[in-house]
Amino acid sequence: MNYSLIDKKTLDIGCAQNHKGEFDCLCRERPNDCPFCVSGLWKDPQKEFRKEICQCPQGYTGASCERCMLGYRRETIGESTICIPCTCNNNSDICDPETGKCECRHNTGGLFCDRCADGYYGNALAPPGSKEACQSCPCPIGAKCVETLLKAVVCVDCPNNRTGKSTSSL
């Protein structure tokens, strides 16, 4: 038999791309369904060695390809789930693998980094660092700002119930 020991408990029998390998290891075609190989397949009486090593498709990780890798999230389609890339609008490469909530950067916020974070104004979908991207509000601490249709920035929810165009007009 041609197999190699990966560690003290894992045997690599050539189970690549979640399909049958050099030995009939019965990997299934769905990425998160790669089961233990059948008893006695390698004529090895030690159960801890009866584990396949699956080479996971893009987006999957884990001994049996059961988890989404970093940068991917779980999406339910009918009765099954698949791992798809995070949707973070170029403001992050990382999201929660179960909820899809992005770890936003560039002063953005929201589930998919599609709005400016509190305390910032601008266009969250603009290229980071551009003039249109999210920028710090010119308001006192604790206030928020909104950008009007005429592109004027107005401070709202200011201390002492004031409003204005910037800190200097308060």
Q: What's the pLDDT tens digit per position in 117-126?
A: 988 999 999 9
CATH number at residue 97: 2.10.25.10
Q: What's the pLDDT tens digit per position in 67-116?
A: 899 999 999 888 888 999 999 999 999 999 989 999 999 999 999 999 99
Which of 38, 69, 100 is the last residue in one of the domains? 69
Segment 150-155 long-range contacts (CB within 8 Å, at least 24 positions apart): 153/121
- Tally of domains within the chain: 3
Q: What's the pLDDT tens digit per position in 46-58?
A: 445 445 556 788 9
Burial call 51-73: b when 16+ CB within 10 Å, e when fewer: bbbbbbeebbeeebbebbeeebb
170 in the same domain as 141: yes
20 in the same domain as 59: yes
Q: What's the pLDDT tens digit per position in 137-155?
A: 998 877 788 888 888 898 8
